[in-house]
Amino acid sequence: MDGRAWAQLLVLCGAVFLEGIDVAMLNIALPSIRADLGLSTGMLSGVISAYVLGYGGFMLLGGRTADLLGHRRVFLFWLVVFLLFSGLGGFATNGWMLLAARFVTGVASAFMAPAGLALVTAMFPAGPARTKALGVYAGIASGGFVLGLVAGGLLTSIGWRWVFFAPVIMAALLLAAAVPLVKEPEPGARRGVSGGFDLLGAFSITGAMMLLVYGVVRLERPGHDVALTVAVLAGGAALLAAFVAIEHRAAHPLVRLGILRSGALVRTNLSAMLFLGAFAGFQFLMTLYLQELRGWTTWQTGLAMLVVGIDVVLAPTLTPRLVNRFGNVRVLLGGLVMAAAAYALFLPVGLDWAYTVMFPIIGLLGLSFALVYGPLTMAATEGVDEREHGVAGGLFYTAIQFGMALGLSAVTAVKVAALSGGSREAGLDALRIALTVPVAAVLAAVLITALGLRTSPRRPAEPAHDPVKTAV
């Protein structure tokens, strides 16, 4: 790749890094926000859920919109929206203002993410060039979340509003670079994309995803208003069924249902949902363990998890080489096995564990991230017509967001149900039981991924053209 190709890629990587660091920093700042604005527990939870609802609810619509209107146009417009509403969050004077800002920020991310991924895949042809580009993209994406844990602790010590203002500065710099550097793919890449827009499909899938994500979030409090939770999930399922019926008959469907006949695509999205759900649950439990049971500060907690960020270095360097040599599925499977081992090694965690015991386990998790997230990102659009890369990206990020919401809800529900008292020992026992959820989720991902071994080639085919020349 030449200098211009690298510059375009880094701008797009910067956007996905921004999304990750934004979420992570807010999670660290929540206690300070609650104290300053006087938020109730329900409102504080709503601040997190609002982003999840916006992101998960509008992702498929965002992917299809990018395919129809142009990936660059959608990417730049929603980057501006992200900038404005992140700033609004920094000026929030009450919970509702903050909740609204986070919801719109989530919607902006839902449009930016699939558009950005489609731009990356359009810039680089299938083969080593795209493998390397997506390795860089995936590494920086996951690195944003990990580094956000540390940055959030630092900025919160200055003032929680900087957790919102810092992304504004980053978004402004990215926008200034993206306007001249990021180009719309060649006309041929979008030739044949229908100009029709399926409004009924858009409304039904957006409503379905918002209800399903909200229902999953409600599972965090088992036994609390069960009837409402069941009604929300049933409503989401009904809208999802309606969406399938609408798309089957639509002249210009929002999501061509035939895309879901790809076994590889289905396996990729299921594995992404389970892997990221497991990590979200583990990261939440680790935070509780270090801060509530061990008395560590937010700053110390962020530093403890920083080793997971080894993915930032390994994903763009080691992972593409392994994928080019052994194939995507084999590398992915190896990474999932490592993740399962890391979570299992943490099951006997004690109140007296030194960080020297935790460090290699967390490091193993970071290595697994390098071997899993990159190949998943590569597989998200593999074999999909370039005219549908936005939709494929939307499916991928929807699976991730839904998985993370499900992972958080599952570990929270299990921990609450297993808690038998208020002592540290009782809390540790409940935490150990909840840690079985990430182990089970990743083992399920291992089984799903293993099904693809029979149809996956050992070594990817080399492209017949020069990848560097085609990339630019």
- Predicted confidence (pLDDT) per residue in 313-368, tens digit: 887 788 888 988 998 899 999 999 999 999 999 999 999 999 999 999 999 999 99
166 plus 60 within the same structural domain? yes
pTM above 0.85, yes or no: no
> So what's the pLDDT on residue 377?
87
Q: Provide the pLDDT for residue 460.
A: 43
3-state secondary structure of 236: helix
**What is the pLDDT at residue 156?**
82
Are residues 273 and 145 both part of a single domain?
A: no
Helix axes 3-37 and 162-181, enclosed angle (nearest 10):
160
Q: 115 by DSSP, 3-state: which?
A: helix
For residue 57, tell me if it sits in a domain. Answer: yes
Q: What share of the chain is helix, strand, coil (3-state, %, to 5)?
A: 80, 0, 20
Quick check: is 464 in a domain?
no
Same domain, 409 and 280: yes
Q: Establish if 172 belongs to a structural domain.
A: yes
Structure confidence at residue 467 (pLDDT) = 35
Going by pLDDT thresholds of 50, 70 and 90, the confidence category of residue 7 is confident
When pLDDT is cut at 50, 70 and 90, the band that residue 252 belongs to is confident
Residues 327 and 410 in one domain: yes
Residue 467 placed within a domain? no
Specify whether 293 is located in the same domain as 227: no
The pLDDT, as a whole number, for residue 186 is 65
Q: Which of 285, 347, 281, 275 is nearest to 311 (CA)?
A: 275
Between helix 263-288 and helix 355-380 the angle, nearest 10°, is 160
For residue 43, CA distances in Å to 38, 46, 49, 153, 231 come to 10, 5, 9, 22, 22
**Is residue 103 domain-resident?**
yes
Of 253, 282, 315, the residue at which a domain comes to its end is: 253
Average pLDDT over residues 34-38: 87
From the number of C-beta atoms within 10 Å of its C-beta (0-12, 13-18, 19+), residue 63 rates as buried
Query: How far, in Å, CA of 230 to CA of 276, rounded?
Result: 25
Q: Give the Cβ contact number of residue 81 at 10 Å.
A: 17
**Average pLDDT of the chain to the nearest whole number:** 84
Shared domain check, 237 and 156: no
Cβ–Cβ < 8 Å for 445, 274: yes
Residue 305 and residue 166 share a domain: no
Answer whether 324's CB lies under 8 Å from 131's CB: yes
- pLDDT attached to residue 62: 86
Which domain range does residue 226 map to?
199-253
**How far out from the chain centre does Cα 7 lie?**
23
Q: Are residues 178 and 293 in the same domain?
A: no
User: Are 61 and 206 in a shared domain?
Assistant: no
User: Is residue 189 assigned to a domain?
Assistant: no
- Band (238; pLDDT cuts 50, 70, 90): very high
Return the pLDDT at 239: 93
> How far is it, in rounded angstroms, from Cα 315 to Cα 142?
10
> Residue 276: what pLDDT?
92
CA-atom Rg of the chain in angstroms: 21
Residue 128 confidence (pLDDT) above 50: yes
Residue 185 CA to residue 162 CA, distance in Å, equals 36
Predicted confidence at residue 262, as pLDDT, reads: 81
| Residue 147 DSSP SS3 | helix
pLDDT at 195: 54
Using CA atoms, how far apart are residues 386 and 40, in angstroms rounded to an integer? Answer: 46
Residues 404-455 pLDDT 10s? 888 888 888 888 888 888 788 999 999 999 999 999 999 999 999 998 876 6
249 and 265: one domain?
no
Q: Which residue has the tokens 């006087």?
A: 38
| Domain termination residue (choose one: 157, 182, 207) | 182
Average pLDDT estimate for 83-92: 95
Q: How far apart are alpha carbons 125 and 464 in whole angstroms?
A: 10
**Domain-located, residue 233:** yes
The tokens describing 24, both together, are 């992570």
Other Cβ atoms less than 10 A from the Cβ of 350: the count is: 9
11, 178 Cβ separation under 8 angstroms: yes
Q: Quick one: residue 221, left, alpha or beta (phi over 0 = left, psi -120 to 50 = alpha)? A: beta
Across the range 165-178, mean pLDDT stands at 94
Query: What are the backbone dihedrals phi and psi of residue 437, each rounded to the nearest 5 degrees, phi first?
Result: -65, -50
Is 368 part of any domain?
Answer: yes
Do 241 and 317 belong to one domain? Answer: no
Q: What is the pLDDT of residue 462?
A: 41
CA atoms within 13 A on the CB side of 109: 30
Identify the weakest region by mean pLDDT among 65-69, 244-248, 286-290, 386-390. Answer: 386-390
Distance CA 37, CA 57 (A): 27
pLDDT band at 468 (very low <50, low <70, confident <90, very high): very low
Summarize pLDDT for 10-25 with one digit per residue, the tens: 899 899 889 888 888 8
CATH number at residue 140: 1.20.1250.20
Structurally, the chain folds into a number of domains equal to 3
Same domain, 271 and 167: no
Give per-residue pLDDT as tens, 263-300: 888 999 999 999 999 998 898 888 889 888 998 887 78
pLDDT tens for each residue of 191-235:
445 456 677 888 888 888 888 878 877 776 767 788 998 999 999
